[in-house]
C-alpha cells in the first residue's frame, strides 16, 4: 500500500478521461462514470431547462474526479467477514477498494479500518435488533486538516475495547480522530455521543469568493466533526459567487440566511449587507457558526438555532434546504415575510421547482452548478423576485 495518508494529494485525473472504477454498476454512488464529462454536463444543463423552461449555461466542475471532501462508509457483514464501503443499488454494502471521486487516502483508511475490524472479530451494526459493534466510518478533508469519525454501538454487549481503539489509532497517526457512540433507549430519541480522542477538535477550511465588485474575499471556517460543509469546495465558492451577484444586496438591507449551516454564505453576505441573520437547526453547525463569526470578527452576523418557520423581518432571503425542499410551514412563513428577493439554492431541482410554484414568485435567473460530477445530482440557484 502506498502511504498517501502521509502526503498531500497530488493525483488529478484528466477532466476528459472516461474512467470507471472497479465498483461501477454495483456501487450505488457514481452512476454516470461511463459518460464523458462533457456529455454529463450537457445532460445536466438540459435537465434544468426541461424543469424551468430556461437556464444559464451550467458551471462545470474544474476537476470531475477526487473532488469530495467527505464520505460516509457503512459496515457490513458477509459470510462471517466484516465489510466496509457504500450501499449498492439494492441495499447491500459494496465492500469498497477503490473510489475515484474521493481523495486517495480515504481508501487507505477504509482498508486499514476494515482489516482492523476483522482482526478484532468485530461485526457490523444491525439496527433492527440493536446488535453489532460498528456502524459507520466518516472521513473528512479540508485544505488544512484531515478527520476520521468512527460510529459504534452503545449496546454494552457490543462495546469496543479500549485496546482495540488504541490499536486503530496507532494505524492512522496523522488524523484527528473521534468516536461517536450511538445510544438507544426505549421511547427516547437516539443519541450520538461524540468523544474526541486525538488531533484537532476542529479542522479549518478557507473559502475564497469573488464578490460582485470583482474583488476576491477569503474567510477561514472551523469545522465541527458533525457539522455540514459543502462537499466540493471549488464549486461551493462558485455557488456563493453567483448567489451573491443575483441577490444584489444593498448596504442598508437585512439578509436572512435559512439553513445557514456553519454560516459560510452568511460571512460573504455580511460584507454587503447591514445585517445578516442565519437560522439553523443543527446544534453542531450553530457551534461552528458562532466560532467562525467570532474568529472572523463579523459583527453584523447573528445565528439563531431553530427551524425555518419563524422568520425575522428581512429584505433578501437565501434558502438552501435539504433534498426534501421547504416545508409547508416555511413556505407559508416566506409568503408572509414578503422579501423583495429570494435566492433559492438547491441540490434537488425537482423539489425546488415545486417549492417555487408554491411561493408565487417569478423565477428571474436560473444558474445550475455541477457540484457532483459522475452522478446525476446537480446544484441549482434561482433568483426569485416578487410580482
Catalytic residues: 347
Residue 256 CB neighbours (<10 A): 28
Q: 3-class SS at 224?
A: coil
What angle separates helix 162-171 from helix 104-119, to the nearest 10 degrees? 150
Q: Report the DSSP beta bridge partners of residue 70.
A: 140
First-to-last C-alpha distance (Å) of the chain? 60
Determine contact, residues 153/135, Cβ cutoff 8 Å.
Answer: yes
What angle separates helix 328-337 from helix 349-359, to the nearest 10 degrees? 50
- CA-CA distances (angstroms) from residue 169 to 164, 186, 224, 227, 257? 9, 33, 20, 23, 39
Q: Is 61 exposed, middle or buried (0-12, 13-18, 19+ CB in 10 A)?
A: buried
The owner of cell 469546495 is 233
What whole-number distance in Å separates Cα of residue 294 and Cα of residue 237?
21
Nearest to 72 by CA among 93, 48, 52: 93
Amino acid at each position: 500500500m502506498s502511504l498517501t495518508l502521509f502526503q498531500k494529494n497530488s493525483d488529478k485525473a484528466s477532466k476528459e478521461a472516461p474512467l470507471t472504477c472497479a465498483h461501477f454498476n454495483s456501487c450505488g454512488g457514481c452512476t454516470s462514470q461511463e459518460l464523458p464529462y462533457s456529455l454529463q454536463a450537457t445532460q445536466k444543463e438540459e435537465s434544468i431547462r426541461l424543469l424551468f423552461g430556461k437556464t444559464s449555461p451550467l458551471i462545470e466542475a474544474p476537476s470531475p474526479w477526487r473532488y469530495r471532501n467527505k464520505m460516509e462508509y457503512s459496515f457490513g457483514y458477509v459470510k462471517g467477514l466484516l465489510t466496509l464501503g457504500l450501499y449498492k443499488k439494492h441495499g447491500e454494502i459494496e465492500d469498497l477498494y477503490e473510489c475515484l471521486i474521493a481523495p486517495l487516502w480515504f481508501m487507505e483508511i477504509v482498508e486499514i479500518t476494515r482489516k482492523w475490524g476483522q482482526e478484532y472479530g468485530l461485526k457490523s451494526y444491525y439496527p433492527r435488533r440493536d446488535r453489532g459493534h460498528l456502524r459507520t466510518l466518516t472521513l473528512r478533508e479540508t485544505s488544512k486538516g484531515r478527520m476520521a469519525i468512527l460510529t459504534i454501538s452503545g449496546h454494552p454487549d457490543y462495546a469496543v475495547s479500549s485496546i482495540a481503539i488504541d490499536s486503530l489509532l496507532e494505524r492512522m497517526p496523522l488524523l484527528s480522530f473521534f468516536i461517536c457512540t450511538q445510544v438507544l433507549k426505549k421511547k427516547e430519541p437516539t443519541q450520538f455521543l461524540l468523544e474526541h480522542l486525538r488531533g484537532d477538535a476542529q479542522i479549518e477550511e478557507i473559502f475564497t469568493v469573488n464578490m460582485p465588485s470583482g474583488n476576491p474575499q477569503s474567510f477561514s471556517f472551523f469545522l465541527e466533526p458533525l457539522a455540514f460543509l459543502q462537499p466540493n469546495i471549488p464549486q461551493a465558492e462558485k455557488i456563493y459567487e453567483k448567489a451573491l451577484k443575483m441577490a444584489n444586496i444593498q448596504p442598508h438591507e437585512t439578509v436572512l440566511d435559512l439553513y445557514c449551516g456553519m454560516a459560510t454564505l452568511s460571512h460573504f453576505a455580511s460584507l454587503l449587507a447591514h445585517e445578516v441573520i442565519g437560522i439553523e437547526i443543527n446544534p453542531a453547525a450553530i457551534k461552528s457558526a458562532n466560532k467562525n463569526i467570532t474568529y472572523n470578527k463579523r459583527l453584523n452576523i447573528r445565528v439563531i438555532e431553530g427551524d425555518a418557520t419563524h422568520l425575522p423581518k428581512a429584505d433578501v432571503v437565501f434558502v438552501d434546504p435539504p433534498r426534501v425542499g421547504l416545508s409547508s410551514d416555511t413556505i407559508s412563513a416566506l409568503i408572509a415575510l414578503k422579501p423583495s428577493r429570494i435566492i433559492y439554492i438547491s441540490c434537488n431541482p425537482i423539489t425546488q421547482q415545486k417549492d417555487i410554484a408554491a411561493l408565487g414568485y417569478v423565477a428571474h435567473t436560473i444558474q445550475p452548478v455541477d457540484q457532483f460530477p459522475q452522478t446525476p445530482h446537480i446544484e441549482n440557484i434561482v433568483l426569485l423576485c416578487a410580482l
